[in-house]
Amino acid sequence: MKNIKEYLNQIKLETKKILGSKLLLIFIALLLIMSIAAPILSTVELFKPRYYYGGYGEGELVVNDIEIDEESIFYWEIYQLNDTKTWLQDQATSSTDDLALEFVDIMLNDYLALSKDIESHQDYRANVVWSRRQYYATIFIIEHIDVPVEDMQEILEKSNSYYRDMASLKKEYYELSDEDRQEKLKEAKEALELSDKIILYGDHQAYFDYMLNEAEANLKRNEEEIERLEQSIIEDPSNEEIFNEQIESIKRQMETHDIITMPILQYRIDNDIIPGMDDWRDTALRHKESALYDVHYNSEIKTQEEFEKEQHLKWEYETYAKYKKAMEKRVEDATNRLQVAERSLENGKPDMEFVPQGTRKKVTNFLWYSLIIAVFATIFAGGLMAREFQSGTIRLLFIRPKSRTKIALSKLFSLILISVVLYALCVLLNLITNGFMFGFSDLGYPNYTISAGIRGVSFFAFIMPKLLACFVVVIFGASIAYFLSIVTRNTALSVSIPLVCFAGSLIAMGIIGYSDKFKWIIYTPLPYVNMPQILTSSYYSPHGIEPIIPYGIGLLLGISVISVIVSTIILRKRDITN
């Protein structure tokens, strides 16, 4: 009892002394400021990740006095159409040139108009833009049906924007009856009108109608393709096997219409969920959709015989067992994701994953900050005893009526205590700042965990163990630096060795973590020093290592305790020669 009190006194004393260091106070101030600044900076345009959609434009483009921004999603369409237009204008010799110019102009003007309205790919209206070219082409062809089919093909070719081979052109337009053609014209015009409604007025119902049309059309295309393939079998029975395989694959794809596409679409219609970043339900639906696809395509596991035949599978997975395991794992993962999405939608309370701009997600991402705290603790732990040795103050310190163990351990505990408080403050400040930036209400939603059934847990119950697990790395860094600080009696070495090893392990894991050649690495501390990463993502999957987190935590703590005990024993026995 008296001993504990003495320890507490000594810790208090050492804490006061450590906090007396100006360098440390500057460090602490910086860390606190950074934890507030991080959420604010994340909203500044400059620091936002730029999404890459097959390239930005090259330089500013001005067409018909309209400036096209480099980041416009229509940049390359407009660039190419404008190019063709200029070329046709220079050409302008035959009548086909004039007509091609007319066709190009229609589409160019359409894109120019759209570019003012739709700015990003995340705008759901961008989905309906790309089919407009088809409708314009249909209208153009039917309205100019008096042009001979050879000329029409030349026109389309020159327009450089819509290509149809002669046979299809004949079959789809020229050989149709007048009535059918008018019907087709009407359909195209209606489709265009629908698309206009969506784009210009943001009409949700129109969008859902459009999606339904697309789904139907898709189904129809598949059916036609199967018909065509069946015809081919009759014409060429020698390739029956290949054709049958293709038919099977299309049929498998068609199954998704009923079990995935339509139910999801219906859910959207019923709940009026249009694609967009602002609605978590859309994100949840997209997750659900992709999970359903993953389950659908991965649950059909090939037999060993089939596997042996597929070279690319053998190259990817090496053995059948590995292949089977990977497929099962994918189905399991997908099923889990599916459950989380479904449960979120049912409850009307989203999992963190569906609110990427939510406070919960931001705070969870902030777990990486523990690594900075670990670096901080390592830097100061490395100096704890070594500085006393190097400056000679150890001779005044160790003649006090306190045991060496008491003095040294108190120093380490004080530093860990300071780190705990600092980390807690950083997390708290970050949480509050994020709350102000992204809303506190998000914190009230549960996160869903899956272990023997799905369960919603509060965000704090979710984040707390992760925070503690991340702090183990801080203790680990400090203990190793403390150990070296006693063994080497040199501050520079005690700080630089752990930091270099830490950086090295991050690099090493980046290289070998993705391979299954080094599976034993999960029994070393290497993967676990980057605790925030392995806690928040299945980073190394599917082929890489699979860290065992509870083992890792135990390992780091075990090494910490052993190095502290060993170094303290060394310190007790050592003659203070300097």
Positions that interact with other proteins (CB under 8 A)? 9-10, 13, 17, 20-22, 391-393, 395-396, 398-403, 407, 573, 575-576
Shortest reach from residue 399's CB to other proteins, in Å: 4
Tally of CB atoms within 10 A around 28: 18
Shortest reach from residue 393's CB to other proteins, in Å: 5
Helix (H, G, I), strand (E, B) or coil at 577: coil
- Pair of tokens at residue 279: 């609605």
Q: In this complex, which beta carbon is closest to other proteins, that of residue 302 or of residue 406?
A: 406
Q: In this complex, which beta carbon is closest to other proteins, that of residue 189 or of residue 406?
A: 406
Q: 263 preceded by cis ω (within 30°)?
A: no
Q: In this complex, which beta carbon is closest to other proteins, that of residue 392 or of residue 558?
A: 392
Shortest reach from residue 557's CB to other proteins, in Å: 30
Show Cβ contacts of residue 573 under 8 Å, excluding neighbours closer than 6 positions: none
Shortest reach from residue 574's CB to other proteins, in Å: 8
Q: State how beta strands 61-63 and 66-68 pair.
A: antiparallel
CA atoms of 236 and 376, how far apart (whole Å): 73
Of 239, 87, 51, give the one whose Cα is nearest residue 159.
87
Of 492, 383, 377, 362, give the one whose Cα is nearest residue 440.
362
Query: Could you tell me how many residues make up the chain?
Result: 578
Shortest reach from residue 394's CB to other proteins, in Å: 8
Shortest reach from residue 377's CB to other proteins, in Å: 20
Shortest reach from residue 10's CB to other proteins, in Å: 7
Q: Is residue 260 within 8 Å of residue 108, measured between CB atoms?
A: no
Helix (H, G, I), strand (E, B) or coil at 94: coil
Place of tokens 């045991």: 403
Q: In this complex, which beta carbon is closest to other proteins, that of residue 228 or of residue 400?
A: 400
Q: In this complex, which beta carbon is closest to other proteins, that of residue 182 or of residue 393?
A: 393
Q: In this complex, which beta carbon is closest to other proteins, that of residue 84 or of residue 410?
A: 410
Of 257, 329, 319, give the one whose Cα is nearest residue 298.
329
Q: In this complex, which beta carbon is closest to other proteins, that of residue 15 or of residue 283?
A: 15
- Pair of tokens at residue 215: 């789904």
For the chain, the helix, strand and coil percentages under 3-state DSSP, each to the nearest 5: 75, 5, 20
Return the bridge partners of 457, or none.
447
Shortest reach from residue 412's CB to other proteins, in Å: 17
Q: In this complex, which beta carbon is closest to other proteins, that of residue 246 or of residue 403?
A: 403
Q: In this complex, which beta carbon is closest to other proteins, that of residue 48 or of residue 400?
A: 400
Shortest reach from residue 494's CB to other proteins, in Å: 19
- Pair of tokens at residue 157: 């070719």
DSSP state of 51: P
Q: In this complex, which beta carbon is closest to other proteins, that of residue 2 or of residue 312?
A: 2
Shortest reach from residue 551's CB to other proteins, in Å: 40
Q: Can you spell out the DSSP letters for 179-228?
A: HHHHHHHHHHHHHHHHHHHHHHH--HHHHHHHHHHHHHHHHHHHHHHHHH
Q: State how beta strands 66-68 and 446-450 pair.
A: unpaired
Q: In this complex, which beta carbon is closest to other proteins, that of residue 13 or of residue 226?
A: 13
Q: In this complex, which beta carbon is closest to other proteins, that of residue 9 or of residue 86?
A: 9
Shortest reach from residue 568's CB to other proteins, in Å: 15
Shortest reach from residue 9's CB to other proteins, in Å: 8
CA atoms of 99 and 158, how far apart (whole Å): 10
Q: In this complex, which beta carbon is closest to other proteins, that of residue 361 or of residue 411?
A: 411
Longest dimension (CA), the chain: 110
Shortest reach from residue 32's CB to other proteins, in Å: 23
Q: State how beta strands 446-450 and 454-458 pair.
A: antiparallel
Q: Helix crossing, 369-384 with 491-512: angle to 10°? A: 150
- Pair of tokens at residue 150: 């050879």
Element (H, E) at 116: helix 95-117
